[in-house]
């Protein structure tokens, strides 16, 4: 029975020229947006690579300096482009593009593109993923509800019921037909995504093949979302008395899912888990560095103890007699403590981010779009977890570079050497290895997004259950 | 006409769906207004707290200097009590390097913080105050490479979901309610078979439709005006009068635009559901597609320089300044004979760094300001074309009233540059000469004078645009009025 219904519905959908025109128009719009985003991404990628090389060359050719002054010149690292960021940039527009690595301090990435954007982005960032997650559901709803309301308004529902066709079979058949249509329409979208990800210049073959499972996972997740939306559209169509009323209810639901719930959830998360102001955050780090973290002695005491230890270790009366570079040795101790203080405060900050993320997940109960956005960013490699992964890698590199420079300084000097003395040449700067970042695997993405995935699946199941309820109440 | 209005009002009031929509609309706006007013209060309180911190830092530095002097007196290094001229010259008798370091420490602390004063409409547009740099701590050091002195702290994931700004909510919600109330009303009456009866009952068949639209426009505008007005007044005090008035007028024009647009859709020979979908498509285009297109055009017309490329230029300036440090130091003392150093021999950090920072900033400042100039040019372009997208025009008005428009922000950055210059003129000679700060000097530390109130001229022009497009649609409606009832 269902097979016949599905065939009939598919035939009706295929014959409906409006569906095709709408689908083609949307696909064309999406493709245009994606191609533009891809072009922009490739320009940025090329620029980032070029700037990365130039800043490295600036580091390498600093000339003769005191090594610590050279370290203070610092290095910049740039997060390598994620191939799928043209599709879903996730948090990328809202985090800095460049991270300055310098001694003593851990910085935050600077120059976020959102700060340079115009007022319209406050309505929504028009990126290919937003089109799929935010705007396409509206059209799926519009397509789905009329499948149910038309049966009643054209009087065919009574006929079908008199022929013994069950409501559930009818609605299930319609849902399967819509799902088949969706697969047909979105297949080119994800095929284009897969092809462009594989063929992207600068992406190695091994990397490109690892992208395919990501694209496939994205396709599966979006289809699950659309299936839920289609089921909801059908259910509302079946439960409503007229087309206009049904459409209005669906528009309200869409506005709640896409516009209201994410904004309200974001505001509530900010209010429930407030972040310190930038001034407070950096002041707390400066305070704890000088005065010591809870349970630790203050910095002056730590340094005094270290110097006393040096004198004991080398059996000399003054620091100027110590056979290693005292300033560099002292810096190593101070910086190790600065790293500890920074890690303490940054971990606390990230913990707050995660608390906010958990609150946002709770809000997915009111909107499957929130869960989808989180999952999509994770699978595209542009989520908050991915950003943290990158920043942690950059921080480890910063610590390694500064430790290496201080160790070199310590080994090549004796006693107290003035900062005005210049004795490190280009060979020292060039000996510092370049920053290589390996993005995390798909497993990492799935681990970070599994609650969102679960919520999305729960939404799909709930929508199906509502469709079941609607089938029982569907009257001619 | 009065009876027609009354009849349409009764029709509107007796529809349960209309009342449900009105209730949801009012509740959403009220909640948003409360939220925004609370957020605006918090922001003002945080600004006040930051200002207090600034004062406390200066006081702390002064207390610390006093205690050093007391210790110096106790150890016999200062012979007379600290008062009058003796107090003013107290530092002249203390260690010059310590005096220079004290002045330097205060000069590079967060005591030099400048804040962008929010406008009377802060409650309308809060999120840009958290996204843009609205607090900058000027310093005797170069601040352009250091994000700690200006950057804000936000969870990028929350930013991804956008903010709950009152103006954005009104700009998004009002059209949706207008579409729900007005799009396809004539078609629905026709589908229900009552349209001809309605036309037959009225002397002029267009009057009931226009009365219905006017009632819906008022129902759209009044709650929004009340909610926004109360949020603005509640969060800003007494200086909001003209701001509330401008905003209320803009809301009236905005409500009029959407109702007129939906009224025009009523003339289309389509079903009520199709009219609703057409209204929705128009909303999507005007809210998302047109602004995105305009922003792309603005970016193409006034391309933003690359932030990444500026890093290379910044580092070049840093390296250049570092290489020229001895030469810059010498030149500084030659240019400032009144600030001759109190010590002989070589100068070390921080003294030999200050001329370098000044030189470096002379190179870097114009580079960094290019971005603001481009942002300003793009904003001006968007303002010229705002009539193409009323939702964007409304947001621009809210930004002006909140004091966070591109023009305000650029003026703020100009003022910060001037403040930084005054700050350096005050501190640098005291560090370079090793005089440090005297007790009297603390009273003369430069304060940020704020930003000259930016011209509100764009608000009337944006309102004019909104009124113009609304008037054009209304003229279209009136032009169609004679054809109403003939079909």
* Predicted local distance difference test score (pLDDT) of residue B239: 63
Higher-confidence residue of B30 and B91: namely: B30
Q: Residue B148 and residue A48: Cβ atoms within 8 Å? A: no
Q: Residue B151 and residue A352: Cβ atoms within 8 Å? A: no
Top mean pLDDT of B42-51, B246-255, B339-348 is at B246-255
* Chain B residues near residue A58 by CB distance under 8 angstroms: 312, 315-316, 319
Among A114, A247, A275, the residue with its CB nearest the CB of B155 is A275
Whether B56 has a pLDDT exceeding 70, the answer reads yes
d(CA B122, CA B136): 19
Q: Residue B276 and residue A247: Cβ atoms within 8 Å? A: yes
Kindly indicate the confidence band of residue B89, based on its pLDDT and cuts at 50, 70 and 90: very low
Contact of A114 with chain B, judged by CB distance below 8 Å, is answered with yes
Phi-psi category of residue B240: left, alpha or beta, with phi > 0 → left and psi -120 to 50 → alpha: alpha
* Chain A residues near residue B273 by CB distance under 8 angstroms: 146, 243-244, 247
Contact of A46 with chain B, judged by CB distance below 8 Å, is answered with no
| B318 closest CA partner among B270, B359, B370 | B359
Beta strands in B128-188 (DSSP E): 135-137
Higher-confidence residue of B199 and B260: namely: B260
Whether A25 has a pLDDT exceeding 90, the answer reads no
Higher-confidence residue of B86 and B286: namely: B286
* Chain B residues near residue A51 by CB distance under 8 angstroms: 306, 308-309, 311-312
d(CA B100, CA B480): 80
Instruction: From residue B218, give the alpha-carbon distance in Å to each of A15, A469, B9, B21, B212.
Output: 44, 39, 11, 14, 10
β-pair partners for A110: A98
* Predicted local distance difference test score (pLDDT) of residue A125: 85
Structurally, chain A folds into a number of domains equal to: 1
* Predicted local distance difference test score (pLDDT) of residue A207: 65
d(CA A196, CA A192): 6
**Cα distance from N-terminal residue to C-terminal residue, chain A:** 20
CA distance A409 to chain B (A): 19
Q: Which of residues 47-86 of B touch A (CB under 8 A)?
A: 50, 53
Q: Is A406 exposed, middle or buried (0-12, 13-18, 19+ CB in 10 A)?
A: buried
Q: Residue B273 and residue A119: Cβ atoms within 8 Å? A: no
* Predicted local distance difference test score (pLDDT) of residue B92: 47
Contact of B155 with chain A, judged by CB distance below 8 Å, is answered with yes
Whether B91 has a pLDDT exceeding 70, the answer reads no
Whether A422 has a pLDDT exceeding 80, the answer reads yes
8 A C-beta contact, residue B256 and residue B202: no
Instruction: Pick the residue of B60, B182, B273, B298 with the most A CBs within 10 A to test the interface with A by mutation.
Output: B273
Q: Which of residues 323-352 of A touch B (CB under 8 A)?
A: 349, 352
* Predicted local distance difference test score (pLDDT) of residue B81: 37
CA distance A205 to chain B (A): 28
Higher-confidence residue of A8 and B397: namely: B397
* pLDDT one-digit tens code per residue, A96-145: 889 999 999 999 998 888 888 888 888 888 899 999 999 889 889 888 88
* Predicted local distance difference test score (pLDDT) of residue A202: 64
Degrees (nearest 5) of the Cα angle A83, A84, A86?
100
pLDDT exceeding 90 applies to what percent of chain B? 65
Q: Residue B151 and residue A108: Cβ atoms within 8 Å? A: yes
Q: Residue A275 and residue B50: Cβ atoms within 8 Å? A: no
Among B110, B184, B396, the residue with its CB nearest the CB of A119 is B396
* Chain A residues near residue B165 by CB distance under 8 angstroms: 122
Q: Residue A115 and residue B131: Cβ atoms within 8 Å? A: yes
* Predicted local distance difference test score (pLDDT) of residue B70: 73
Average pLDDT (B6-27) is 90
Range(s) of the domain holding residue A123: 2-473
Whether A44 has a pLDDT exceeding 70, the answer reads yes
Contact of A370 with chain B, judged by CB distance below 8 Å, is answered with yes
* Chain A residues near residue B378 by CB distance under 8 angstroms: 118
Q: What is the 3-state secondary structure (H, E, C) of A161-218?
A: HHCCCCHHHHHHHHHHHHHHHHHHHHHHHHHHHHHHHHHCCCCCHHHHHHHHHHHHHH
Q: Is B209 exposed, middle or buried (0-12, 13-18, 19+ CB in 10 A)?
A: buried
Note the Cα A259 to chain centre separation in Å: 19
Contact of B9 with chain A, judged by CB distance below 8 Å, is answered with no
* Chain A residues near residue B371 by CB distance under 8 angstroms: 116
| A58 closest CA partner among A73, A47, A72, A48 | A73
pLDDT exceeding 70 applies to what percent of chain B? 92
Q: Residue A266 and residue B304: Cβ atoms within 8 Å? A: no
d(CA A206, CA A190): 20
**Closest chain A CA to residue B319:** A62
Record the pTM.
0.90
* Chain A residues near residue B121 by CB distance under 8 angstroms: none
* pLDDT one-digit tens code per residue, B360-381: 999 999 999 999 999 999 999 9
Among A135, A266, A419, the residue with its CB nearest the CB of B284 is A135
Average pLDDT (A402-423) is 93
The phi, psi pair for A240, rounded to 5°, reads -85, 160
* Predicted local distance difference test score (pLDDT) of residue B400: 93
d(CA B233, CA B166): 14
Of the listed ranges A106-110, A182-186, A265-269, the one predicted with least confidence = A182-186
Of the listed ranges A136-150, A363-377, B300-314, the one predicted with least confidence = A136-150
* Predicted local distance difference test score (pLDDT) of residue B237: 60
Among A73, A120, A279, the residue with its CB nearest the CB of B110 is A279
* pLDDT one-digit tens code per residue, A46-69: 999 999 999 999 999 999 999 999
Q: Residue A360 and residue B165: Cβ atoms within 8 Å? A: no
Degrees (nearest 5) of the Cα angle A360, A364, A366?
120
Instruction: Pick the residue of B155, B174, B179, B401 with the most A CBs within 10 A to test the interface with A by mutation.
Output: B155
Q: Which two tokens stand for residue B157?
A: 């994931």
Instruction: From residue B383, give the alpha-carbon distance in Å to each of B75, B348, B465.
Output: 67, 52, 10
Residue whose entry in the numeric block shows the structure tokens 């540059």: B417
Summary mean pLDDT of chain A: 91
* Predicted local distance difference test score (pLDDT) of residue B76: 57
Q: Which of residues 133-162 of A touch B (CB under 8 A)?
A: 135, 138, 142, 146
Sign of the CA dihedral running A242, A245, A248, A249 = negative
What is the complex's ipTM, to 2 decimals?
0.89
* Chain B residues near residue A269 by CB distance under 8 angstroms: 155, 158
Q: Which of residues 347-366 of B touch A (CB under 8 A)?
A: 348-349, 352
* Chain B residues near residue A108 by CB distance under 8 angstroms: 147, 151, 153
Whether A17 has a pLDDT exceeding 80, the answer reads no
d(CA B193, CA B198): 10
* Chain B residues near residue A116 by CB distance under 8 angstroms: 304, 307, 371, 375
* Predicted local distance difference test score (pLDDT) of residue A20: 78
* Chain B residues near residue A383 by CB distance under 8 angstroms: 157
């Amino acid at each position: 029975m269902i097979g016949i219904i599905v065939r009939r519905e598919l035939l009706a959908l295929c014959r409906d020229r409006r569906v095709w025109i709408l689908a083609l128009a949307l696909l064309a719009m999406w493709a245009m947006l994606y191609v533009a985003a891809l072009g922009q991404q490739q320009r940025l990628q090329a620029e980032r690579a070029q700037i990365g090389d130039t800043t490295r060359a600036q580091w390498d050719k600093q000339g003769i300096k005191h090594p610590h002054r050279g370290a203070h010149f610092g290095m910049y690292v740039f997060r390598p482009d994620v191939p799928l960021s043209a599709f879903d940039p996730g948090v990328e527009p809202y985090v800095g593009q460049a991270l300055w690595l310098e001694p003593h301090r851990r910085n935050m990435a600077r120059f976020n593109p959102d700060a340079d954007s115009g007022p319209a982005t406050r309505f929504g960032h028009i990126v290919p993923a937003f089109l799929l997650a935010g705007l396409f559901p509206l059209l799926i709803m519009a397509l789905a509800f009329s499948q149910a309301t038309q049966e009643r308004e054209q009087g065919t529902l009574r006929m079908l019921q008199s022929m013994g066709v069950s409501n559930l079979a009818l609605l299930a058949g319609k849902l399967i037909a819509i799902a088949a249509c969706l697969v047909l329409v979105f297949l080119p979208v994800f095929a284009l995504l897969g092809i462009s990800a594989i063929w992207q210049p600068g992406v190695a073959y091994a990397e490109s093949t690892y992208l395919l499972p990501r694209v496939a996972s994205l396709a599966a997740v979006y289809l699950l979302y659309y299936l839920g939306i289609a089921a909801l559209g059908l259910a509302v169509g079946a439960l409503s008395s007229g087309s206009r009323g049904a459409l209005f209810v669906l528009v309200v639901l869409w506005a709640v899912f896409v516009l209201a719930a994410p904004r309200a959830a974001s505001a509530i998360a900010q209010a429930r888990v407030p972040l310190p102001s930038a001034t407070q955050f950096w002041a707390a780090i400066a305070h704890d560095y000088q005065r010591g973290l809870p349970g630790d002695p203050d910095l002056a005491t730590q340094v005094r103890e270290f110097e006393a230890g040096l004198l004991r270790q080398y059996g000399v009366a003054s620091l100027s007699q110590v056979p290693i570079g005292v300033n560099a040795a002292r810096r190593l101790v101070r910086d190790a403590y600065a790293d500890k203080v920074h890690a303490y405060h940054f971990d606390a900050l990230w913990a707050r981010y995660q608390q906010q993320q958990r609150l946002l997940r709770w809000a997915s109960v009111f909107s499957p779009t929130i869960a989808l956005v989180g999952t999509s960013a994770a699978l595209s490699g542009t989520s908050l977890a991915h950003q943290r992964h990158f920043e942690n890698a950059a921080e480890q590199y910063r610590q390694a570079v500064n430790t290496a420079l201080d160790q070199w300084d310590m080994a090549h000097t004796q006693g107290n050497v003035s900062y005005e003395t210049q004795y490190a040449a280009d060979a020292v700067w060039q000996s510092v290895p370049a920053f290589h970042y390996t993005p995390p695997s798909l497993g990492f993405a799935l681990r970070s997004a599994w609650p969102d995935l679960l919520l999305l699946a729960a939404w799909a199941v709930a929508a199906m259950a509502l469709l079941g309820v609607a089938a029982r109440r569907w009257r001619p | 006409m009065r009876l027609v209005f009354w009849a349409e009002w009764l029709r509107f009031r007796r529809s349960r769906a209309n009342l449900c929509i009105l209730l949801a609309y009012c509740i959403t706006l009220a909640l948003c207004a409360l939220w925004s007013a609370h957020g605006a209060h918090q922001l003002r309180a945080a600004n006040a707290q930051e200002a207090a911190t600034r004062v406390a830092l200066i006081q702390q530095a002064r207390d610390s200097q006093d205690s050093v002097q007391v210790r110096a007196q106790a150890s016999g290094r200062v012979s007379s009590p600290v008062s009058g001229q003796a107090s003013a010259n107290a530092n002249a008798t203390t260690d010059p390097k310590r005096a220079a370091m004290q002045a330097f420490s205060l000069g590079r602390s967060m005591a030099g913080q400048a804040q962008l004063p929010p406008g009377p409409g802060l409650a309308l547009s809060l999120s840009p105050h958290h996204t843009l740099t609205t607090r900058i701590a000027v310093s005797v050091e170069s601040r352009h490479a250091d994000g700690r002195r200006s950057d804000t702290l936000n969870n990028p994931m929350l930013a991804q979901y956008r903010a709950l700004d009152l103006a954005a909510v009104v700009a998004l919600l009002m059209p949706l309610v207008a579409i729900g109330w007005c799009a396809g009303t004539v078609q629905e009456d026709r589908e229900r078979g009552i349209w001809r009866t309605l036309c037959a009952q009225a002397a002029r068949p267009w009057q009931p439709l226009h009365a219905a639209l006017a009632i819906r426009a008022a129902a759209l505008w009044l709650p929004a005006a009340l909610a926004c007005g109360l949020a603005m007044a509640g969060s800003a005090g007494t200086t909001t009068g003209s701001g509330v008035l401008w905003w209320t007028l803009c809301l009236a024009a905005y409500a009029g635009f959407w109702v007129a647009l939906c009224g025009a859709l009523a003339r289309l020979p389509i079903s009520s559901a199709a009219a609703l979908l057409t209204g929705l498509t128009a909303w999507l285009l005007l809210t998302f597609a047109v602004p995105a297109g305009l922003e792309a055009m603005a970016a193409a017309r006034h391309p933003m320089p690359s932030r990444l490329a500026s890093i290379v230029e910044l580092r070049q300036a840093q390296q250049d300044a570092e290489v020229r440090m001895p030469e810059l130091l010498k030149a500084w003392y030659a240019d400032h004979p009144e600030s001759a150093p109190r010590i002989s021999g070589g100068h070390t950090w921080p003294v030999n760094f200050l001329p370098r920072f000044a030189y470096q900033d002379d190179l870097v400042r114009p580079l960094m300001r290019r971005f603001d100039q481009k942002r300003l040019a793009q904003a001006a372009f968007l303002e010229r074309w705002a009539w193409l997208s009323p939702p964007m025009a409304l947001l621009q008005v809210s930004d002006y009233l909140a004091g966070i428009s591109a023009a305000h922000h650029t003026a703020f950055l100009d003022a910060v540059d001037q403040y930084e210059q005054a700050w350096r003129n005050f501190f640098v000679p005291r560090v370079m000469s090793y005089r440090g700060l005297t007790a009297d000097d603390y009273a003369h530390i430069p304060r940020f004078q704020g930003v000259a109130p930016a011209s509100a001229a764009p608000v009337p022009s944006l309102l004019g645009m909104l009124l113009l497009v609304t008037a054009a649609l209304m003229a279209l409606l009136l032009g169609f009025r004679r054809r109403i009832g003939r079909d």
